[in-house]
Amino acid sequence: MPVSPARTIAFEILQRVETGGAYAADALHARLTAGKKRREGAGETAKRQDAALATELVFGVLRWRRLLDFLIERQARRPAEGLDADVRQALRLGAYQLLFLDRIPASAAVNESVELTKRAGKRQAAPLVNAVLRRMPKGPFRAETFARGLPVGMAEAERLGILYSHPTWMVARWLAAYGAERTRALLEANNRPLPVACSVLDGEGAAQVAESLREDGLEVEPGKLLRHALVVRGGSIAETAAFREGWIVVQDEASQAVALLTGVGKGQSVLDVCAAPGNKTLHLARAAASGARVVAGDVHPHRLHAVRAQLERTGTAGVALVAFDGTRPLPFGAPFDRILVDAPCSGTGTLARNPEIRWRLQASDLEDLAQRQEAILRNALDLLARGGRLVYATCSLEPEENEWVVRRIIQERSDIRAGRAPAEFAGELAQGVTLERLFDREGFFRTMPQETTTDGFFAAVLERK
């Protein structure tokens, strides 16, 4: 029996994510791009519907993995983790289609999952896959309805963790920090695809760029937070003239805002400490303008290739790329006027785009990450010029990585103080967006996926006296 290309690709990518440590977005992009090139080389057109379904299956299964496993265990009467990896993945794929994709016939979801099991060399498990999926409840999934079937007396974090497919420890943290209503909204947001945003590098040409994108078949609307941001749907940005010509960079609006918080002026020296993949570097370098001293660094030399590619695609010159470990003293003699530290973090603000993170991260990781973040921030501050500004940022929602790090640094360094957003930042905001919406009482910048429809970001502005 044939298996659709979409399900074949999804099965392959999901196995690479779970057993090989790959990231879904990167692996899927590489697989779909390679597949399209092969088809075009053979004189065939790329099948967008296959790419769309493969993407839906990969991200859907990753987002809803815990709920799917819970249902599989009920029907198989054994722990999902005890099943063979290929069998488990085929079951998840079938269960996701039955529960969430009402346009797909149940027979196709079941039969092709059985065939995937056979193709993986697990023919003896095919009857199990068939039986489990045929007993599986059918969608559309409603959390409120499904909750009635959970055991009475189950702890709230456990209950929400199953219903919205997140680790219990993570849900418990958010319940304590945000309360039940905001936590439930956050969990729901993490299970919805976020819009694709891009930044127009020449803000004055935003209208022309938007029109170019529409001519290439994309739906375009203004950004939700920033004046020079666009939200796009309905096609591949990488295939548009605007992308090829270097007029735009694909970047979440919260990430764009972090770069703008540095308030780089013409001629100022700039250091981007954790630069890869280079999206924020573009904003910093263009603000500093030609002739300024701009340095972008990363601990992994191969990741600087991605930064170089971004600079070349957009025609951004004058940026020095340097490989260094930010947790150690940085290899520069002269200080910098502006520094950006977009620190490596848990990524809990990006679970909608990177759902696999929720299954890899452990609560114990937060302390190790915080120690690394503090080391990077201390070393960067040593290179901040007097009167200079440093922006510390993460795409994490966790206080250990955010305000706790900043508070400790300010307490131990009398020459550093908390600053405010540069005056010109307010002018970058979209109509109707206020500073009060984006900054808390301590002056920290925050976005929440369920409230801003962006990634969850934290940023603090620090100044050297």
Q: In Å, what is the CA distance from 97 to each residue of 94, 229, 311?
A: 5, 34, 41
For residues 249 and 229, give the distance between their C-alpha atoms in angstroms, rounded to a whole number. 10
Q: CA torsion angle for 194, 196, 202, 204 (degrees, to 10)?
A: -70
The reported pLDDT for the residue numbered 320 is 97
For the domain made up of 196-250, give the CATH fold.
Answer: Alpha-Beta Plaits (3.30.70)
Range(s) within the chain of domains with CATH label 1.10.940.10: 5-141
Question: Residue 35: what pLDDT?
Answer: 60
Q: How far apart are the first and last CA of the chain?
A: 71
Task: Collect the ranges in the chain with pLDDT lower than 50.
Answer: 40-46
- What architecture (CATH level 2) is domain 258-464? 3-Layer(aba) Sandwich (3.40)
Q: What does the alpha-carbon distance between residue 459 and residue 421 come to, in Å, rounded to a whole number?
A: 10
Could you tell me the two tokens for 107? Answer: 């027979």
CB 186 within 8 A of CB 178: yes
Residue 45 confidence (pLDDT): 38
Q: Where are the alpha helices (DSSP H) in 120-194?
A: 126-135, 143-147, 156-163, 168-190
Q: What is the pLDDT of residues 99-120, one digit of tens each?
A: 999 999 999 999 999 999 999 9
* Cβ burial 35-45 (10 Å sphere, 16+ → b, else e): bbeeeeeeeee
Residue pLDDT, tens place only, 271-287: 999 999 999 999 999 99
Say what the pLDDT of residue 151 is: 87
Q: Quick check: 70 and 166 in contact, CB under 8 A?
A: no
In sequence order, the 6+-apart residues with CB closer than 8 A to the CB of 368 are: none
Helix (H) or strand (E) holding 260, with range, is: helix 253-261
Tens of pLDDT, residues 167-199: 999 999 999 999 999 999 999 999 999 999 999
- Per the CB < 8 A criterion, the answer to whether 92 and 69 are in contact is yes
The question of whether 395 is a catalytic residue gets the answer: yes
Q: What are phi and psi of 437, to 5 degrees?
A: -70, -30
- Domain 5-141, CATH number (from 1.20.210.10, 3.40.50.2020, 1.10.940.10, 1.10.260.40): 1.10.940.10
- For 323, half-sphere exposure in the C-beta direction (CA atoms, 13 angstrom radius) is 9
Q: Which residues pair with 445 in a beta bridge?
A: 439, 459
What does residue 454 show for φ and ψ, rounded to 5 degrees?
Answer: -135, 180
Q: Which pLDDT score is estimated for 203?
A: 78
Q: Range(s) for CATH 3.40.50.150 in the chain?
A: 258-464
Dihedral angle sign, alpha carbons of residues 462, 197, 249, 52: positive
Is the Cβ–Cβ distance between 225 and 91 less than 8 Å?
no
DSSP string, 307-372: HHHHHHHHT---EEEEE--TTS--S-SS-EEEEEEE-----GGGTTT-TTHHHH--TTHHHHHHHH
CB-neighbour burial class of residue 369 (10 A; exposed 0-12, middle 13-18, buried 19+): buried
pLDDT (0 to 100) of residue 148: 86
- Rounded CA-CA distance 27/265 in Å is 38
Where in the sequence of the chain do the CATH 3.30.70.1170 domains occur? 196-250
CA distance 290 to 352: 37
Name the catalytic one among 198, 274, 345, 395.
395
CA atoms within 13 A on the CB side of 238: 5
The count of other CB atoms within 10 Å of the CB of residue 47 is 16
pTM: predicted TM-score of the whole model, two decimal places: 0.94
